[in-house]
Amino acid sequence: MNTQRPFPILFLIILMAWVMVACSARQAQTATSRGEASATPAAEATPSPTARPTATPTLAPTQSIHNVEYTQILETVWSTVNESYFDLDFGGLDWAAVRARYEPLVRAAKDDDELYRLLNQMLWELNVSHAAVGPLEEWPAAEPVVWMDGDIGIDVRLLGEQVVITRVRAGSPAEKAGLHMGFFITAIDGTTVEQIIADAQEHLAPPYNEQGRVDLLTLHVLSLIYGEPGTCVNLAYLDAGDVLRESCVERMPRPRIGALEGAPIPPSYLEFESQRLANGIGYIRFSTFHPDLMPDLIDTLAEFQDAPGIIVDLRGNPGGELQTDGEMAAQFLDGQVLIGRFESRSGTMPWVVMGKDAYSGPLVILIDALSFSGSEFFASGLQAVGRAVIVGERSPGGATVGNIAPLPNNAILVFPVAQLLTPGGQVVEGHGVVPDIPVTLERGQLLDGIDAQLQAAIQHIVETAP
């Protein structure tokens, strides 16, 4: 039986494989020195599957003190999932047989890294998000945008197999170093991006689709760009003329931190941006669904009351805290509104929010392959009730609800206890949110300073605003 009590608040956080971060980082270091019908269009195809990691070969068991501890940890992980997983049938998976297969492998594990690799591989046989285990100190690399404490002021996306800069923050070290939207990064600290991606691709976690692959690989690249403040990251890149250049860009500390009281997770580094765009349109971007950002949103919406429309940019937003997710959605709704359902072992529970009607004008939400979990909850709910138009790229479908529990060895287990359904009953997990207006980014446009997804959102508001 699991004797550990999970943290009582449900979190909607993306959890990239700790083993992916740890193994890839070590490889890089060796080479050089991550009721209502849904508005989702039915015609869109389910994302094409990405090949799963190959099965681990059977190992001959040995016995030691740490192997006994490893077996106890396996039992805790397996039992916790067994007692709380939202699907009693485990999606047709024989969960007891899975435990029997992994027990001799865990007993023979040589070290903690192998233990975590095996436990995560076991959890990923569930083929759902928010299932992972690993040491707390490796959490920041799992979600660098939220948890790593030094950055250079850029965002990147995997366009094809190229890592392209998609945003450069004004006044940031990256801007001062001459980096620009559209520049193509070829190497980080001496390791080629091609090698970084190849290494990381061996340890991908669910959801197993192309969006999920892009999400995890991009996050891994970002985990190498973020880092300790005061250190520099050496970037090799092709500029607008495809001239190969190199720059060592200093990482700066991130000033705003927000903690969740009692949560066994690191504090979050918070970002909230708002501005008026052309034609007075309001633009809002924030890094995570965190309660400390609620006052920012409320104040901004008060300032945007006369805006002909508002764009909420959730590209790259990995999710956050459930209650905040609902409270933010409520700002754009009026009255009591059903925006989704949670399916758990005990049944299906409606997700109803009481609207605050803080802004009732046209609303567009930007999403992409890095809009995960809480971002998908927010976007799918407002799309399904007809409140928002979604622009951008399909999201991965990381739409389970994860509880967090400590393990006996001070590691952390995240385990899924519910999954999101749209108000009409459609499953979001593994399918994602499908944009009403699909738009992709292109390097050529970025080099010209054009964010095609943002421009499409602006155009929609201009064409539809009263």
* Averaged pLDDT in 10-residue chunks for the chain of 466 residues: 38 40 38 33 38 37 64 96 97 98 96 95 97 89 92 97 96 97 98 96 93 97 97 98 98 91 82 95 97 98 97 97 96 98 96 97 98 98 98 98 89 96 96 98 97 98 89
1 in a domain, yes or no? no
Contact 314, 288 (CB under 8 A): no
pLDDT of residue 65: 54
154 in a domain, yes or no? yes
Domain that holds residue 82: 7-34+60-142
Q: What whole-number distance in Å separates Cα of residue 209 and Cα of residue 431?
A: 9
Q: At residue 437, what is the residue type?
A: I
Burial track 232-260 (b if 16+ CB lie within 10 A, e otherwise):
bbebbbbeeeeeeeebebebbebeeeeeb
Q: What whole-number distance in Å separates Cα of residue 38 and Cα of residue 339?
A: 10
On whether both 244 and 128 belong to a single domain, the answer is no
What angle, rounded to 10 degrees, do the helices at 210-225 and 193-200 form? Answer: 120
On whether both 332 and 447 belong to a single domain, the answer is yes
pTM over 0.85? The answer is: yes
CATH of the domain at 231: 2.30.42.10
CATH of the domain at 90: 3.30.750
pLDDT of residue 67: 76
261 in a domain, yes or no? no
Contact 211, 396 (CB under 8 A): yes
On whether both 459 and 318 belong to a single domain, the answer is yes
Domain closes at, from 90, 109, 142: 142
452 in a domain, yes or no? yes
> Where is 175: in which H helix or E strand?
helix 173-176
